[in-house]
A = this chain, B = another copy of it.
Amino acid sequence: MMPKTSHAAGLHRASLEKLHDLDAALELMYYGWRGMTLQADEYLAKQGLSRPHHRILYVVARRPDIAIGTLIETLGISKQALNRPLNLLLDRKLLTSRRSPEQHRSKLLRLTEAGQRIEKKASDYERKVMCEAFDRVGAPGAAAWMAVMETIADSS
């Protein structure tokens, strides 16, 4: 008896007819994003966190003492949407907030040691995936990948 061939969650790439020349590229973008984030998301889930938490940690790691308003702008979400994940991170002491000495209106965010550890570990999973892929194609291939992605990213 056939074991029912469940491809677990989600498709097998390349199981679809290509109607157009660039269909493979569209599908690769989708699976590429999924592939890069898969292990990181699994790790984050084990920590009781998810993608938006990682996005916050990632940005704060690269901009210590960022104000909440700037973080909102940077993430491109509303303050209400930021509220819950941000408070979770503060409660879990992965982030600290303090008032600015001069600009007492703003709160400045920083990662704690624990926050740094989790941010790094989650990002490491993503970097590892990228690193292996870049190794396969060498420096010129990696540069070409970056060039393509920059064009796409700035196409908005």
CB contact between A155 and one of B7, B9, B129 (< 8 Å): that residue: B129
A78–B38 Cα distance when bound, in Å, is: 19
Q: Check B29 against A33 for contact (C-beta < 8 Å).
A: yes
Contact of A36 among B17, B31, B152 (CB under 8 A): B152
Q: Do B76 and A149 touch across chains, with their CB atoms under 8 A apart?
A: no
Interface size class of A (residues with CB under 8 A): 35 or more
Q: Are B146 and A144 in contact (CB under 8 A)?
A: no
Q: Counting CB contacts under 8 A, is A52 at the interface? A: no
> Which of the listed residues A7, A22, A59 has the most CB atoms from chain B within 10 Å of its own CB?
A22
Q: Is the CB of A148 within 8 A of B126?
A: no
What does the 1/0 interface line of A32-76 toward B look like (CB < 8 Å)?
111110110000000000000000001101110000000001111
Q: Which residues of A127-156 are within 8 A (CB) of B?
A: 127, 129-134, 136-137, 140-142, 144-156
Contact B35 A152 (CB under 8 A): yes
| Closest CB in chain B relative to A62 CB, distance in Å | 4
Return the contact of A133 from the options B31, B73, B129, B148 (Cβ within 8 A): B148
Residues from chain B with Cβ under 8 Å of A17 in the complex? 62-63
Ordered by A's residue number, 21 sampled pairs between the chains whose C-beta atoms are within 8 Å are: A9-B76, A10-B76, A19-B61, A19-B62, A24-B146, A25-B127, A25-B149, A26-B126, A28-B146, A28-B149, A28-B150, A29-B32, A33-B33, A35-B154, A36-B155, A136-B148, A136-B151, A137-B144, A141-B144, A142-B148, A145-B148
